[in-house]
Amino acid sequence: MILFKSPWLLIQLIVIFLNPWWWIIFQRNIWVGLLVIILSLVVFKYFWYSNIEKLLLPLLIFTAISFFISVKDAFDISIFRYSTLEIQQLNKRHEFYANGLGKIYTNRISLSYFKDFNLPISKLQRNFFGNLDPNQYFFASHPRERAGVEEFQKYIPLFLPFFVIGLLYSIHVPLLALLIYLVIVSLISSVISASYNLGPILFFPLINFMITIGIILSLKFLKTIK
């Protein structure tokens, strides 16, 4: 009941149903499609109306469910498995590092780091920053489409200005709880493959939220002008 008392939720619903991403999710997995709608509404209600405590648990639960579904379907195995090309590059770079760094490299700690941790950390960073790329959401990653990833446009570019307004508002205020949630979602999404056919669904409610508050703020601004 708490969810449906607010008029701004209507805008949130319009944003959800007007974006191609939700339709793609819904076509490919009906249950995830429904899940992300509920999560979006909970996120909106929780963060816009300043942390209604009753919604914290549902927020965490639905986020966890979304996370586990994503991990089950698309855990990024490549983080810990190296391709042939990567192994070749590692071997070559072993020589370069040894020549260029000397004893700073040729000790147990450095050798272990470069052999076992450097590449996985780099891949986690790749996924992390890939999810923070606004072009992925509004332009199907154009002009830097990712190799081996089915890129699809998630939001119509018309929503972009509202997204920017919402994002800047979140930073300016700041909506601390939202930013913490964004950081957590970004970190846990790093283990999910970029080629997941539903996209980074944990970001779905956040992007919707930013767009919605961008629209709300724009409407409020227009009201003040009149």
Omega into 7 within 30° of 0, i.e. cis?
A: no
Smallest separation, CB 33 to another protein (Å): 25
**What contacts 50, CB < 8 A, 6 or more positions away?**
none
Does residue 142 touch another protein according to CB under 8 A? yes
Among 122, 150, 184, 221, binds another protein (CB under 8 A): 122
- Looking only at residues 55 through 94 of this chain, which bind another protein when binding is defined by CB under 8 A? 92-93
* Binding piece for another protein, criterion CB under 8 A, among 2-10, 15-23, 42-50, 98-106: 98-106
Which helix H or strand E contains 48, and what residues bound it? helix 30-48
**Token pair listed for 219:** 């409407």
Residue 191 CA to residue 214 CA, distance in Å, equals 30
- Site map for another protein, 154-183, x if CB under 8 A? ---x--x-------x--xx-x----x----
Q: Which residue's CB is nearer to another protein, number 26 or number 105?
A: 105
How many other C-beta atoms are found inside a 10 Å radius of the C-beta of residue 38? 15
Q: Which residue's CB is nearer to another protein, number 47 or number 139?
A: 139
Residue 201: closest CA among 123, 145, 137, 141? 137
Smallest separation, CB 105 to another protein (Å): 9
Among 18, 24, 29, 130, binds another protein (CB under 8 A): 130
How many other C-beta atoms are found inside a 10 Å radius of the C-beta of residue 173? 10
Residue 84 CA to residue 107 CA, distance in Å, equals 25
Among 54, 72, 81, 143, binds another protein (CB under 8 A): 143
Q: Which residue's CB is nearer to another protein, number 58 or number 134?
A: 134
**Token pair listed for 131:** 């999810």
Smallest separation, CB 36 to another protein (Å): 23
End-to-end CA distance of the chain: 34
Residues that bind another protein (CB under 8 A): 92-93, 96-97, 99-101, 122, 125-126, 128-130, 132-136, 138-139, 142-144, 157, 160, 168, 171-172, 174, 179
